[in-house]
Amino acid sequence: MKKDKQYKLDIIPGIIIAIFAIFYMSKISGIRVFKSLGATPLTNHFIPWLWGGSMLALSLWLIIRGILKYRKLKALNALPEGESLFAALWEKREVIFSFIALALYVGFMDSIGFVITTCIYTFVQILILTPVNKWGKNFIPALITAIIAGFLLFYIFRVMLNVLLPVGIFGFGL
């Protein structure tokens, strides 16, 4: 029953994800359509619309599920008393911190560069998902994993797949 009482944990993330989905879908029209040799109904807008539409549909499902839980609790007169929004969000802090870390990763990638931001993001994400009492024990392995992952991803994308990556302030990625 405890899970049923946490209707806010469905409604709030659903609203946030819906906002992100709408913002994402509003940017799709800015993608230039690649004119290929043959005619196809699928352009380079298809996958972004598919992802954005899926994200919006799933966020709406979260909102509906939260509202249904709320109505069920209200009908049973079992609404939790004194449950604060902050307490409900703090229970999902890993998710919130992960979104913040991802936004910072994307935001700083052009100015700092792919390799450095990937190493920092991977390290921070490992720490976010590790219980705080184990940080001391996992600090060095997390740092080593982040550095290896950053350079390995750079090698795969830049050297093997020939994908241009942001070089940033130190010029890595030439």
pLDDT, residue 1, reads 44
For residue 59, being part of any structural domain is answered with yes
For residues 9 and 67, state if they share a domain: yes
Number of domains in the chain: 2
Q: Which of 12-26, 71-85, 100-114, 145-159 has the lowest mean pLDDT?
A: 71-85
For residues 108 and 143, state if they share a domain: yes
Confidence grade of residue 129 (pLDDT, cut at 50, 70, 90): very high
For residues 102 and 134, state if they share a domain: yes
pLDDT, residue 174, reads 47
User: What average pLDDT does the segment 138-157 reach?
Assistant: 94
Phi and psi torsions of 130, nearest 5°: -95, 135
For residues 67 and 40, state if they share a domain: yes
Domain of residue 135: give its range.
88-160
For residues 61 and 125, state if they share a domain: no
For residues 40 and 67, state if they share a domain: yes
pLDDT > 60? residue 164: yes
Q: What's the whole-model pTM score?
A: 0.65
For residue 167, being part of any structural domain is answered with no
- Integer Cα distance of 174 and 165 in angstroms: 9
For residues 78 and 98, state if they share a domain: no
* 112-127 pLDDT per residue, tens: 999 999 999 999 999 9
Q: In a 10 Å sphere around its CB, with 0-12 CB exposed, 13-18 middle and 19+ buried, how is residue 133 labelled?
A: exposed
DSSP state letters, 116-137: HHHHHHHHHHHHHHS-GGGHHH
For residues 52 and 92, state if they share a domain: no
For residues 101 and 131, state if they share a domain: yes
For the chain, percent of residues with pLDDT exceeding 70 = 84
The domain boundary, picked from 34, 51, 82, lies at 82
Please tell me which residue, 90 or 100, carries the higher pLDDT value: 100
* 68-89 pLDDT per residue, tens: 988 888 788 766 666 666 776 7
